[in-house]
Amino acid sequence: MPTNAPDMNLTNEANQAAKTFVHTLEELNICGGIRNVDTQYQLIQIGEQLVPATLNYAEYHNSYVCSPYTAYISYAKDELSLLKRPLLENLLSGLMMVAGVFLKLGKLNQTLSINNWLVSTNLLPSWNPTDIAQATQRLSEQYPKHSLSIRSLNGKQHAQLIDTLKSQGWLMIPARQIYWFDAENRQWWRRNNTKNDQALLRKVEAGKLPLQWVKPDELLDSDFKSLEICFNQLFIEKHSHYNPQFSEEFLRQMHHKKLIEFHSFRDDSGRIVATIGLFTQQNTITTPIVGYDTDLPKTLGLYRLLMAVLLRLTYERQQPMNLSSGAGSFKRARGGEAVLEVTAFYTQHLSPLRRWIHIGFAKLLNRFAPQMFEKHQI
């Protein structure tokens, strides 16, 4: 079988998941599922594969999961404090204000985002060059005033796809740095920090800590409000309100329809105080849901416990894992390999001005962003 031929079992599973996901969002009316997402949602076909796609025009208030402007400007401003360099933060903030004016002029948000599951990391199918070329032509003709975009590409998983897209005229714009845990060379399992986290998890299993590991089939219907609160405390209140704001009912439906696998920790009072959601597609694990009660003492090690569960499951299942961005020093200490993630844009059918702005922005970020991500571990 050619290396770029999709595995039909994976394709069928992904197609069914895409149908279920889109149907669920339709039932919840999108904003009822993810409160800060305003988009037109649909299924599109590339080759044999069905994928969800979002269609936007401006919607600058949107979460970064369907707003490139938010991802590159609004969300990035919220995260500048992580640099802990006031002068650099002020300089970058000023540059972002200028860039934001040009990106609005270039209508960066007017895009059809392909394979967009409205989570931090989208897991991409195996598309062959012919299918990509045909879909690019069809979709650019169907949406002549929209760019086409694909989030969550990285050189570790998608080197061949990136080369194909480049050869067909797509731009690659750096987005962030993600952390990769390989399925074959699993040296990360032998790291001291990983071992210490596993020792902490064994204390929970032995009843030596006032916590209970709650497996997916042990969740109660009443637990999902706590899951929402845990996520919001970490990602909305502590980081940025531009992160997707998942509702209790969205999390409940993702669980019942087996699209996201939740592992949680319950305290002695019976309350869920930490949770992690595994989203597995294309034989790869990622974690769009992570959260815990940030008011509890750090000595309880809730984030460490969540990562211990995740790494144990990744090791036992012998699957690769994309641990997304953020908490760079923590993930590196556990063997995560830093990898540049990019967003691909196709703009050749757009006006000269819009093409020029996209190309200029791509050149600017390719020149400076990778070094900044690496230096500051963000």
For residues 276 and 160, state if they share a domain: no
Q: What is the pLDDT of residue 1?
A: 35
- The reply to whether 1 falls in a domain is no
Joined tokens for residue 133? 């070329």
Q: Please check whether residues 201 and 244 belong to one and the same domain.
A: yes
| CB neighbour list of residue 372: distance below 8 Å, 6 or more residues apart | 378
Residue type, 346: Y
* Rounded Cα gap, residues 301 and 112, in angstroms: 41
Given 3-state DSSP classes, what are the helix, strand and coil percentages for the chain, each rounded to the nearest 5?
50, 20, 30
Report yes or no on 182 lying in a domain: no
Give the separation between CA 67 and CA 377, rounded to whole angstroms: 24
This prediction's pTM: 0.94
Q: Would you say residue 333 lies in a domain?
A: yes
Residues 239 and 321 in one domain: yes
Residue 335, token pair as written in the block: 């063997």
Identify whether 118 is part of a domain.
yes
- Mark whether 148 and 20 lie in a shared domain: yes
3-state secondary structure of 325: coil
- pLDDT recorded at residue 2: 40
Question: Is residue 304 one of the residues assigned to a domain?
Answer: yes
Report residue 289: phi and psi, to 5°: -115, 115
Which residues in the chain land under pLDDT 70? 1-6, 378
Q: Are strands 284-292 and 321-322 parallel, antiparallel or unpaired?
A: parallel
| Dihedral sign (CA 51, 176, 154, 319) | negative
CATH of the domain at 329: 3.40.630.30
Question: Could you tell me if 311 and 282 lie in one domain?
Answer: yes
Tell whether 19 and 155 lie within a shared domain.
yes
Report the domain count for the chain. Answer: 2
pLDDT at 3: 42
Domain holding 326, by residue range, is 187-337
Closest by Cα among 43, 40, 42 to 58? 40
Could you tell me if 299 and 234 lie in one domain?
A: yes
Please tell me the predicted confidence (pLDDT) of residue 378.
64
Other CB atoms within 10 A of residue 289 CB: 24
Name the residue with tokens 């750090």: 298
Do residues 162 and 77 both lie within one domain?
yes
Q: Do 311 and 325 belong to one domain?
A: yes
Q: What is the DSSP letter of 124?
A: P
Residues 213 and 151 in one domain: no
Q: Which among 329, 342, 345 has a CA at the least distance from the CA of 370?
A: 342
The pLDDT of residue 77: 87
My answer on whether 121 and 217 are in the same domain is no
Do 165 and 242 sit in the same domain of this protein?
no
> 178 in helix, strand or coil?
strand
Residue 261 in domain: yes
Contact 12/20 with Cβ under 8 angstroms? no
Q: Smallest Cα–Cα separation from 69: which of 106, 39, 37?
A: 106
Rounded-to-integer distance, Cα 142 and Cα 146, Å:
9
The tens digit of pLDDT for each residue in 245-282 reads 999 999 999 999 999 999 999 999 999 999 999 999 98
In a domain, 219, yes or no: yes
Residue 54 lies in a domain: yes
Cα separation, 278 vs 306, in Å, equals: 11
